[in-house]
Amino acid sequence: MNETEGLRFRRLNRPQVITDELPEHRYKGSGTYSGKVFQVTLLSLGGFLLLPLLVIILILESPIHPEVFSLKEPPVMTGCWEQNLKLREARRLFEDQIVGPESIANIGDVLYSGTADGKIVKLVGRRIHTVTRLGRPPCGSTEEESSCGRPLGIRVGPNGTLFVADAYLGVFEVNPTTGEATRLVSGGQVVAGRKLSFINDLAVTQDGKKVYFTDSSSRWERRNYLHLIMEATADGRVLEYDVDSRELSVVMENLRFPNGIQLLPDEESVLVAETTMARIRRVHVAGLNKGGMDTFVDNLPGFPDNIRPSSSGGYWVAMSAVRPNPGFSMLDFLSQRPWIKKLIFKLFSQDVLMKFVPRYSLVAELHDGGVCTRSFHDPGGLVAAYVSEVHEYDGSLYLGSFRSPYIAKLDLREV
């Protein structure tokens, strides 16, 4: 073998070093291909998931038609409104034995309330007795609520009878001893061109001859109360029922979610919680100013529900949601953005949305001119959630709720 042949042999049989690394050009080529496949797959999956959402947004009609309205900047929670934990000193009564005791009244030491299952109940000591049922079973679901009935506001009349506002069935007078119920006003009837769709709270004159009540909406029923709040429809009214003549008339209209109602001592005016607007209005129902209306207190730090008298001559107001300042209020933010409200109700049910509403219970005592004199708070609603009413009796506050399974009792001597 000559020198030339030897060189050729050594080149052909040169040993190769085997490593874990692939040739650079092969790595780049396969990586680019995998990346493209991943991108195409991701885009396809995203499009597949977004397509139904786009169909919902573009095609389905929103169940609400929100109106644009404006709220003032929430008041700073200082002074009387400063946050505290005093409401957490309350203790729960009849826990898991009673659901949704919206409103409370008492005859002596006996408490009365209406519950989510359509009953009027009597609370004696630690026992619960059924006085009557205004509707008919079955009860328990949202669909059955209109036939089962949903008693809300409850008052004691001058003759010891109970006056009850049922959201669907109407206004009743109930004998607390026999359970006999007399319907005074039928729910669902048309009055002055509008349907009574959401009867809420009521107040009775001292002689029992006049009953004033709120009809929160002619469009939405109680079971759709969140639709009413979000739509901000100004179709709520205050009505008057004359017990002797049986005449029913409209006292005030075009209110945004009129809720709790309370007669003033002279019985010429009623205070009405206009929940959506976070304020309390004074509606003149008799006297020289009959038919007029002014504002008792504006720009509350929360959304008012029922109003009841306090022992010091003021009024207790219950609020189950607040407008924190400093902080962020979703309802304030959405008030001028109806398109967002429409989108939300296209995507989520009322039950789902309620889970995102921050719980914060606030009760306040207001005096003449809407001046706050004291307030009790439970941030997060840990002890008393979804408060709807404050009923004062014998040195304690009994807190009603539109959905909690208990009544909360706060001893005023402990706070």
String of DSSP letters for 345-374 = HHH--HHHHHTTSPPEEEEEEEEGGGEEEE
The pLDDT of residue 29 is 46
Q: What is the pLDDT along the chain (415 residues), one digit of tens a residue?
A: 555 555 454 544 555 544 444 444 444 444 566 666 657 666 666 656 666 666 666 677 888 999 899 899 999 999 999 999 999 999 999 999 999 999 999 999 999 999 999 999 999 999 999 999 999 999 988 899 999 999 999 999 999 999 999 999 999 999 999 999 999 999 999 999 999 999 999 999 999 999 999 999 999 999 999 999 999 989 999 999 999 999 999 999 999 999 999 999 999 999 999 999 999 999 999 999 999 999 999 999 999 999 999 999 999 999 999 999 999 888 899 999 999 999 888 888 888 888 888 899 999 999 999 999 999 999 999 999 999 999 999 999 999 999 999 999 999 999 9
**Contact call for residues 181 and 173 (beta carbons, < 8 A):** yes
> Judging by DSSP bridges, how do beta strands 236-242 and 248-255 pair with one another?
antiparallel
The pLDDT of residue 18 is 45
Domains, the chain, ordered by start: 79-411 (2.120.10.30)
Q: Give 68's Cβ-side CA count (13 Å radius).
A: 3
Element housing 41 (H / E): helix 24-59
Sign of the alpha-carbon dihedral angle for 141, 146, 149, 155 = positive
**Contact call for residues 150 and 134 (beta carbons, < 8 A):** no
Neighbouring CB atoms inside 10 A of 56's CB total 12
Please report, as a single letter, which amino acid is at residue 73: E
Measure the CA–CA gap between 397 and 174, rounded to whole angstroms.
24
Angle at 235 between CA 232 and CA 238, to 5 degrees: 120
Going by C-beta distance under 8 Å and a sequence separation of 6 or more, which residues neighbour residue 341?
62, 64, 66, 230, 231, 334
The pLDDT of residue 28 is 44
Please report, as a single letter, which amino acid is at residue 61: E
The pLDDT of residue 9 is 45
The pLDDT of residue 142 is 87
The pLDDT of residue 346 is 86
**Contact call for residues 328 and 73 (beta carbons, < 8 A):** no
Radius of gyration in angstroms for the set of CA atoms belonging to the chain, rounded to a whole number: 31
**Maximum alpha-carbon separation in the chain:** 136
Measure the CA–CA gap between 205 and 194, rounded to whole angstroms.
25
